Chains A and B, each alone.
Chain A
Amino acid sequence: MTKKKKYALAAGVFALLLAYLSFYSVRETEFALVTQFGRPVRTVSNAGLHVKWPFQSILWFDRRLRIYNPRPSEFLTRDKKNLVIDNYVAWRIEDPNRFVQSVGDTSAAEMRLHDIIWSGLSASLGTQDLETLVSATPDKAQAAPMLDLLTATADRAALEQYGIRIVDVRIKRLNLPEQNKQSVFARMRAERERIAMQYRAEGEQQALILRASADRQKEEIISSAYKDAEKVRGQGDAEATRIYGQAYSKNPQFYKLLRTLESYKKVLDDKTTIILNSDSELLRVLTRGEAGAK
C-alpha cells in the first residue's frame, strides 16, 4: 500500500467519524436535547436528520403520551362522604430542558404528578357534594367541569415546574371505602327487599283489580241479559194477553162459563166433599125426571 493510499484511508475514516458525530436523526416519538459539556443548548422536536457540533452530545426523551395511574386513594367530599377514587393522568414531556433539570426520569415525574393531582383532587372534591360524582339524576352528576378545571391548573403548574404537559385527568373508578361496604351491602339488601315487596304488592293489586273487573263484567253481562230476557218475556205475556183479550172479548159470557168450568176441574179434587142440593141443575133430572130438564 502506498503512502498516499494510507493517507486517503485515514482521511476517509476521520471523515466518517466526524459525520457520525455531527449527524443525528430524531424519531417521531422523541425529543432530542442537545447539550454542550453537560449544559443544554437546544431542544430538537421535529423528527428527521439534524446536525450538531461533534463535541455536543444528546439526551433523548420519549415524547409520547403516557398514562400514569396513581394508587386509589380516599377523598372527602364537601358533604363529608368518603370516596375511594382511582384516577389516571394522561401526560407527556413538553419541555425536555425543564424536565431534565427538575425531574430527570419517568418515575420521579410520576411522583411529582401524584403530588400535584392528589392535592388538586382533594381540594376540588372538598368543594363538591357527593352527588356531583354519583347521582341517579344525570343532570346533577356533572364532574366534567371540575376535572377540566383541575386538569388546567395541574397542567399549568406541571408545565412551569417540570416541563410536563398534563393532557387529561380523569376519574377511572369510583368506589366506597372498605369499611363502609358492609353497611352499603346491608342497605342494598334492604332496598331489594323493599322492591321485592313492592313487586308482590303490585302484582296482588293488579290481580285483584283484574278479578274484580272480571266479576263486574260478568255481573253486567248477566244482569243486562236478565233485563233483556224479562223484557222479552213481558212482551210475550203482553202479546198473549192481547190475543186472549181480543178473542175472549168477542163472547165474554161464554168465556166466563168455559173458564169457570175449567177452574172447577182444577179446584175440585178427590179431597173435596161437595153437598149437592137435589134441586140443583145437575140433579134436577135425577129427582124430577124429564120435567127437571126444563
Chain B
Amino acid sequence: MSILLGPQTELEAVAEVLVPVEKRRKRHIWAWVLGLWIISGAYIVPADQQAVVTRFGAVVNPRVPPGIHYALPWPVDSVYKLKVRQLQRTLIGGEIPDAILGRSEPSSSEFLSGDQNLLNVRVVVQYSVRDPKDFLFQTADVERVVRAAVESELARRIARTPVDDILTTEKIAIQNDVLQSAQHALDGYQVGVTISSINIEDVTPPAEAADAFRGVAGARADAIRLVNEAEGYANDLIPRARGEAAQLAEDSQAYKDGKINRAAGDAARFEEIAAEYAKAPKVTATRAYVEAMEQILPKIKKVIADSNGNLDVTIVRRDDNSPTNSNGDTSR
C-alpha cells in the first residue's frame, strides 16, 4: 500500500518543512486528505450506461449496473463507463456527404454480383455493446472490425446472387443472411457487440448501364400495360357476349311461345269453324269460296270466256298494251 500513499507522503514532508504547526492540526489535515481520497472512489453509473471496473488493469467487475457504486480510488481501480444501449451507426459503400460532393472513391461501393454484374450498394449497419468487457479490451478499433466483417459477408452474399434478385426479391434475405453471418464472425473475434440491423439503403446499377436498367423497367411496364389492355378487352368482350347470348335465348323463347300460341289460336279457330262446317258442309264451303272470291277478284284483271272457251284476245291485248300504246303515241 505504501506506493499508493506516495503523494500523501510527499505532502507530509512538505508540511513538515514549510508549516511547523502543532501535531493535532497536522493530523487533522491528514484525516481530511485521506477521507477525500477514499471518497473519490465513489462513482455514479447513469441509467443508460454500464461500467467495467479494473484493479491494476485486471477486470474485477465486468458489468456494473446503473446506480451509485464504490471502487477503490486511483491508482488501484479504474472505472470505464459505456453507453451500452446507444446504437452506433456506420455506413458501408461511401459516406453520404462524400457521395454528394462526388469525392467518394469510385469503387468504394461497387460489388460484384453472382452473374458478374457490378452494382453500387450502400448499407447502414447499426450495432450496440453487448459485452462491455470484450468491447473495451478485445479489439483495437471496434468500428473497423464491424465494418470489415459486414463488408466481407455482404460481398460474399452478393457474389452468390444474380443481379435481378439483388435488385428485387432478395434484398431482405440478403440483409438477414449478412446480419447472421457477420454476427457469427464478430462473435468469433470476441468483439462484444450485437449487430441490431443491416439495412441496404440503396442498390443501383452503375451509371454506365443505368439507362439499360431503366429500359428493363420500361419494358416491364410496357408488358404489364399490354396485358392489362388485353384483360380489359376480355373483360369488355365476354360480358357482352353473355348479354348477346341471353338475348338469343330470350328471342328463341319468344319465337317458340309465339309460334305455339299462334298455332293454338289457329287451331282453335279452325276447330270452331270446322264444327260449324260439320253442321252444314255444303253451304259453308260455298260461302267460304264466294267470300274468298269477293276478296280476290276485285284486285285482278279478269277475262271472261264463254262456255266453249272462245275468247276475243284482241280485247285482252288492247287492255294489256295500253301503256305501250301511249309509248307508241309519243314515238309516233
A: which residues have CB within 8 A of B? 1, 5, 9, 12, 15-16, 19-20, 23, 25-30, 46-49, 62, 64-67, 69, 88, 90, 133-138, 141, 143, 167-168, 170-176, 181-182, 184-185, 187-189, 191-193, 195-197, 199-200, 202-204, 206-211, 213-215, 217-218, 221-222, 224-226, 228-233, 235-237, 239-241, 243-244, 246-248, 250-251, 254-255, 257-258, 261-262, 264-265, 268-270, 272-279, 281-283, 287
- Taking CB atoms, residues of chain A closer than 8 Å to B226 are 200, 203-204, 206-207
9 contacts between A and B (CB under 8 A): A16-B6, A134-B112, A167-B189, A168-B188, A173-B111, A192-B209, A203-B222, A244-B266, A274-B301
Given A195-B216, A240-B259, is A67 in contact with B144 using a C-beta cutoff of 8 Å?
yes
Partner of B223, one of A30, A200, A236, A265: A200
Flag whether B13 is at the interface (Cβ < 8 A): yes
Given A25-B56, A277-B307, A282-B290, is A65 in contact with B140 using a C-beta cutoff of 8 Å?
yes
Flag whether B156 is at the interface (Cβ < 8 A): yes
Flag whether B249 is at the interface (Cβ < 8 A): yes
Q: Are B255 and A27 in contact (CB under 8 A)?
A: no
Q: Are A193 and B212 in contact (CB under 8 A)?
A: yes
Q: Which residue of B lies closest to A28 (CB)?
A: B137
Partner of A226, one of B110, B248, B307: B248
Total A-B pairs, Cβ < 8 A: 368
Given A134-B116, A218-B238, A240-B263, is A62 in contact with B140 using a C-beta cutoff of 8 Å?
yes
Q: Are A16 and B3 in contact (CB under 8 A)?
A: yes
Partner of B155, one of A173, A176, A269: A173
Partner of B296, one of A23, A48, A265, A275: A265
Partner of A272, one of B59, B229, B268, B301: B301
Scoring B9, B111, B216 by chain A CB atoms within 10 A of each residue's CB, the highest score goes to B216
Complex Cα gap A210–B231 (Å): 7
| Min CB gap B181→A, angstroms | 10
